[in-house]
């Protein structure tokens, strides 16, 4: 099934039953008072409400904010107060008043960092001199995108403060967790924007045009990597009238590609990829990548636009399009490399720059969601609110809640690094893996009729 982000972006009508859109986070929030009279009950207790703080982002070029006003009522109804650093939403198109109108208060950075829960798009991505890290304290909860495998030292430093850190990139790729999945929500935005950038830079039109002055053939767009971003790019390019082809190492992607009206490019390649590793592709051998490059060269050369989105979790992006392949494209063609920040899928890619290779523009785009901050913040904020919702018990946050989404995304807890891959990167001893859930006991032979009866 297509990821929700792409399904919603396609022309499918919304599901009739709007409860389908309720996430597990919504459900837990509902149990804890969301949309019920529990709020007033909670307000009468002596326990102070927990505070969620939203600092202004300080990564260069970041425009998003970790909570948008639309996500606020979900939190306030669940028993949280929300404090936003003054100006935190300005670049995303949400002035302070948009937050106060929805029940938040505006505060200084120190007030925000005093909150029980801190939510950030880029966790602690500050100039070390800013002192943000030293503002953290034991027991505080920090939630956002962390890049824990690329920044294990940061995780260690946050663990050292005693704060509990959740990396939203580690939310499992399951249907239940989709509403908290920042990788999916932001990738869908990036896939869409990549096509707009390509169209804007291509000296051709996308759609077929029949005029008295002649017929213009549609642009040929080739998408490499048909994950969330790739599928969003396919849907967008199709809507703009291009002829779209796509390729992915996962054979399961074919059906999704075709369901969006694109042609799946068949390569006679043994990729050894099957579903089951949480939707992620595994790294290909050097030899297979080389073969892939050779087989793909013709399709790349015949394309006006190539959009590359291939990623392998935890490693640098595979180099799929070589400089030689780029040189095989017609001058004026455009490549948009969505993997630029992870090293790039194209050999000539430079992150943050557009490189000209014999008249072909290779765009090493970075943070495309940040170029559409209203909607990417709206989606990110909803992901965050849903995630927090999983831990809400009677208006308080329980970080020990028995939930796989919470357990898989915690990277620092109790003063220690809580994720074994991050520990390995730091040379720390592995923590014992949690016991897998006990299998259901087999009914004894004598009990079989009773078990059948009970199952009815």
Q: What does the binding site for ligand NAD look like in residue numbers (CB under 6 A)? A: 3, 173-175, 178, 181, 183-184, 187, 224-230, 247-250, 253, 279-281, 284, 309-313, 318, 320
- Least distance CB 402 / ligand NAD (angstroms): 21
Rounded Cα gap, residues 349 and 30, in angstroms? 47
- For residue 414, give both structure tokens: 């109790």
Any idea what DSSP says for residue 141? E
- Least distance CB 2 / ligand NAD (angstroms): 7
* Widest Cα–Cα separation across the chain: 84
Among residues 132, 181, 248, 304, which one is catalytic?
A: 181
Active site residue 273: no
- Least distance CB 60 / ligand NAD (angstroms): 23
Residues with Cβ within 8 Å of residue 442, at least 6 apart in sequence: none
- Least distance CB 47 / ligand NAD (angstroms): 35
Query: What's CA 108's distance to the chain center, in Å?
Result: 29
User: What is the chain's Cα-based Rg?
Assistant: 24
Under 8 Å between Cβ of 289 and 320: yes
- Least distance CB 456 / ligand NAD (angstroms): 32
Among residues 178, 179, 311, 378, which one is catalytic?
A: 178
In this structure, what is the dihedral angle of CA atoms 189, 190, 191, 196, given to the nearest 10 degrees? Answer: 90
Active site residue 423: no
Among residues 81, 239, 280, 313, which one is catalytic?
A: 280
Element spanning 236, H or E: helix 228-239
- Looking at the Cβ atoms of 39 and 173, the one nearer to ligand NAD is 173
- Least distance CB 5 / ligand NAD (angstroms): 8
Rounded Cα gap, residues 251 and 268, in angstroms? 12
Active site residue 239: no
Query: What's CA 258's distance to the chain center, in Å?
Result: 23
The sign of the CA dihedral 274, 313, 386, 381 is negative
- Looking at the Cβ atoms of 295 and 302, the one nearer to ligand NAD is 295
- Looking at the Cβ atoms of 218 and 318, the one nearer to ligand NAD is 318
Reading phi first (left if > 0) and then psi (alpha if -120 to 50, else beta), residue 79 is in left
- Looking at the Cβ atoms of 76 and 264, the one nearer to ligand NAD is 264
Element spanning 337, H or E: strand 334-337
- Looking at the Cβ atoms of 284 and 305, the one nearer to ligand NAD is 284
Among residues 23, 184, 293, 409, which one is catalytic?
A: 184
Burial bucket for residue 371 (CB in 10 Å: 0-12, 13-18, 19+): middle
CA-based nearest residue to 147, from 425, 415, 436, 433: 425
Active site residue 181: yes
Active site residue 184: yes
Among residues 31, 49, 173, 239, which one is catalytic?
A: 173
Token pair 């392949």 in the structure block, residue: 325
- Looking at the Cβ atoms of 154 and 249, the one nearer to ligand NAD is 249
Cα angle 282, 169, 255; round to 5: 50
- Looking at the Cβ atoms of 115 and 224, the one nearer to ligand NAD is 224
- Least distance CB 70 / ligand NAD (angstroms): 22
Give the residue closest to ligand NAD by C-beta: 227
Catalytic site positions: 173, 178, 181, 184, 280
């Amino acid at each position: 099934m297509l990821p929700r982000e792409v399904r919603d972006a396609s022309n499918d009508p919304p599901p009739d039953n709007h409860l389908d859109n309720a996430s597990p986070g919504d459900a837990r929030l509902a149990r804890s008072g969301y949309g019920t009279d529990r709020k007033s009950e909670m307000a009468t207790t002596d326990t102070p409400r927990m505070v969620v703080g939203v600092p202004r982002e300080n990564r260069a070029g970041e425009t998003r904010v970790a909570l948008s006003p639309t996500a606020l009522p979900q939190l306030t109804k669940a028993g949280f107060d929300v404090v936003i650093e003054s100006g935190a939403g300005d670049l995303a198109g949400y002035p302070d008043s948009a937050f106060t109108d929805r029940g938040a208060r505006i505060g200084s950075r120190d007030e925000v960092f005093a909150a029980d829960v801190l939510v950030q798009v880029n966790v602690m991505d500050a100039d070390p001199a800013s002192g943000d890290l030293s503002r953290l304290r034991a027991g505080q909860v920090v939630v956002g995108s962390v890049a824990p495998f690329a920044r294990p030292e940061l995780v260690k430093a946050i663990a050292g403060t005693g704060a509990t850190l959740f990396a939203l990139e580690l939310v499992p790729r399951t249907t239940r967790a989709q509403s908290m999945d920042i990788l999916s929500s932001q990738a869908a935005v990036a896939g869409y924007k990549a096509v707009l950038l390509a169209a804007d830079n291509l000296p051709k039109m996308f759609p077929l045009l029949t005029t008295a002055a002649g017929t213009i053939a549609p642009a040929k767009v080739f998408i490499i990597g048909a994950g969330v971003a790739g599928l969003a790019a396919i849907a967008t390019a199709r809507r703009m009238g291009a002829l779209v082809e796509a390729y992915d190492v996962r054979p399961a992607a074919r059906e999704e590609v075709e369901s969006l009206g694109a042609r799946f490019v068949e390569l006679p390649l043994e990729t050894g990829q099957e579903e089951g590793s949480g939707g992620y592709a595994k790294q290909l051998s050097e030899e297979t990548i080389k073969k892939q490059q050779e087989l793909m060269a013709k399709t790349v050369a015949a394309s006006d636009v190539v959009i590359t989105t291939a990623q392998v979790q935890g490693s640098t992006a595979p180099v799929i399009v070589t400089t030689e392949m780029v040189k095989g494209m017609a001058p004026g063609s455009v490549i948009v490399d969505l993997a630029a920040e992870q090293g790039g899928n194209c050999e000539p890619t430079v992150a943050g720059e557009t490189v000209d290779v014999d008249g072909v523009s290779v765009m090493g785009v970075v943070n495309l969601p940040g170029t559409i901050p209203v909607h990417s913040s709206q989606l990110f904020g909803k992901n965050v609110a849903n995630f927090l919702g999983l831990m809400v018990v009677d208006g308080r946050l329980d970080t020990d809640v028995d939930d796989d989404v919470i357990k898989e995304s915690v990277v620092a807890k109790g003063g220690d690094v809580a994720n074994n891959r991050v520990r390995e990167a730091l040379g720390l001893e592995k923590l014992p893996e949690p016991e897998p859930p006990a299998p259901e006991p087999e009914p004894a032979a004598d009990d079989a009729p009773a078990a059948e009866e009970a199952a009815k």
